[in-house]
Structure 1
Amino acid sequence: MSFTVQLWQPEAADEPLLAALFNVFQVLRPHLDLQEFSQRACRQAAEGYRIAYIEEDGQVLAVAGFRVVHFLAWGRVLYLDDLVTDPGQKRRGLAGALMDWLKQHAAVQGCAELHLDSGYQRHDAHRLYLNQGMVMNCHHFAVPVKA
């Protein structure tokens, strides 16, 4: 099945669309409410963050938040922050369709690679990434800092 990927335009400030995107994002980011999600998405958009999504019959089914950035280690890459499918829409190939679109978009943007971090418990996601040709090549570490 073929899906059409659309790109959220932050300058449009379409509140109903942001709410529809949030309905899917909250599966992966349950700590956010709609207001905080909207604020963060718009703030990050000013730094290059974009949201690709698949919609069917007016319902957002899957989303991908990403940015094109430069790293000393890898050069210019498309970094995938978020990839989420509505739980009721799993096994339809939506995440794979978004991954395919993201790889094409990365190539058009002159990126050398596509990168992402993933929670160690997300086994279904890891299966998708491996099937998409990705390899696990590092660990991500984090520590809270006090301001």
Structure 2
Amino acid sequence: MQIQIAQTKEDFLKCFDVMQALRPHLTPELFLELLPKMKEENYSLLFIEENDKAVSACGFRYLTTLFDGRYIYIDDLTTLPEARGKGYAGALFDYVVEKAKEEGLKAVHLDSGHQRYDAHRLYLNKGMKIVYHHFRLEL
């Protein structure tokens, strides 16, 4: 299993279906419009592919806050339904955690929809703890 970093428009488009599985509102146009802006904010997109198509992806960025200093925040971690159960999301998660450790960071954070029970099982099995409630004001 090879973890790759999406760097080109072709790589991004390979990742579209897997990202849309998590973010159904995305269109290819919006996806390609947002990614350059996100990359300016230190967003990186990792992926694992089968048969020249991404089947699992993880988007993350570096953040710095007063409460936790510098850390990695995972924006997106998803696997296509037909590719689940093969350890792809776990491998991507482990890659990000190792990157954080190598860089001397003290934490990895993520938010997850309350209904994503399978994802929660993965995160808890990887040693994550539920420590916050995330609030949002839609405008």
Name the residue aligned to 1:137: 131
Matching residue's letter, 2:124: L
Pairs aligned (count): 139
Name the residue aligned to 2:4: 6
Q: How does 1:81-92 map to 2 (within 5 A)?
A: 81-92=75-86
Maintained 8 Å contact 1:24/1:84: yes
Maintained 8 Å contact 1:76/1:110: no
Matching residue's letter, 2:118: D
Segments of 4+ moved more than 6 angstroms = none
Name the residue aligned to 2:16: 22
Matching residue's letter, 2:86: R
Matching residue's letter, 2:103: Q
Identity %: 40
CA distance in 1, matches of 2:6, 2:104: 21
CA distance in 1, matches of 2:51, 2:27: 25
Q: How does 1:64-75 map to 2 (within 5 A)?
A: 64-75=58-69
Matched, 1:102 2:96: yes
**Alignment gaps of 5+ in structure 2:** none
TM-score (norm 1): 0.90
CA distance in 1, matches of 2:26, 2:131: 29
RMSD over equivalenced CA pairs, Å: 1.0
- Match of 2:47, SS state, is strand
Deviations 1:55-83, CA, capped at 9 Å, x for gaps: 23312110001001101111111000000
CA distance in 2, matches of 1:74, 1:4: 31
Q: How does 1:106-125 map to 2 (within 5 A)?
A: 106-125=100-119
CA distance in 2, matches of 1:133, 1:8: 27
CA distance in 1, matches of 2:68, 2:98: 18
* Aligned-pair CA distance for 1:16: 2.6
CA distance in 2, matches of 1:107, 1:6: 19
Deviations 1:9-57, CA, capped at 9 Å, x for gaps: 2xxxx33322111111000111110010111111100110000111233
TM-score (norm 2): 0.95
